[in-house]
Amino acid sequence: MDNPFSWDYMTAPLREVPTFGPFSLAFFVLFVLTFIFSAFLYATSGNRFASNEILRNAIRAGTQIMMWLTGIGLFFFSWRLMRIDFGTLYMRFWSYVFMVLYVAVIGYFVYWYRTAYQQRMASIQSDRVRREYNPQGQSRKRVRRKARRGVR
């Protein structure tokens, strides 16, 4: 093996390359652990984040995406692990594609947490402070009553 990023290496037949290359073991362990952690976090997020609805919904959506991504990545990896030469399902190319998608999804959620989540939490905090100083729920708007018609 000269270059693990060469096209010839990524698309080599099973008989020419070993099952576990330089990145295969790390890929397998990372995806199995991520799948298990995502399933656990998805199942327990209702109790763990009950007080923060925005974070709870984001964690449930994110863990669903990660379970699908890692599950499909492990499906493709299982063809190479079982040494079954069927179509192109066994190629290392798919492991590289799913690793890039994995990094992209993690990057997106970090970006979302740093931007949208912070804005939403600031909005919720400002609403909470506004309600503290206005405990009776009285609004600033003046309610206009409808005039009665007829005999009073």
Q: What gap in Å lies between CA 86 and CA 90, rounded to an integer?
A: 7
Q: What is the pLDDT of residue 1?
A: 56
Q: What is the pTM assigned to this prediction? A: 0.72
Q: Pick 61 or 24 by higher pLDDT.
A: 61
Tens digits of residue pLDDT in 56-107: 888 999 999 999 999 999 998 888 888 777 777 777 778 889 999 999 999 9
DSSP letter for 115, please.
Answer: I
* Tokens, residue 35: 């799948």
Q: What is the pLDDT of residue 13?
A: 75
Q: What is the mean pLDDT of residues 108-137?
A: 83
